[in-house]
Amino acid sequence: SEMCIRDRVEAAQNMLVIRCMVGMAQAVCASLDSMHWPGFVGTLAGDDTIFIVCRTDTDATNSQEEFRKLINR
């Protein structure tokens, strides 16, 4: 699913916004949900954007860093 994520992952307080390839957000979101990330409260997918509510600001920042590592492989 990291191949479907574009170059934008932004954290704002306890939330993340991830930009995906057009039409892939729901598939990526389903994949993230199946991974049961402990810091995530819930996810919501549009066509090319994923919105994630994290438990804490720190969870959001740490998750942002992890996603950026995946993107830059």
pLDDT digits (tens, 9 = 90+) for 19-58: 998 999 999 999 999 999 999 999 999 999 999 999 999 9
Check: pTM over 0.85? Answer yes or no.
yes
State how far the Cα of 13 lies from the Cα of 20, in Å rounded to an integer: 21
Return the HEC string of 14-54: CEEEEEECCCCHHHHHHHHHHHCCCCEEEEEECCCEEEEEE
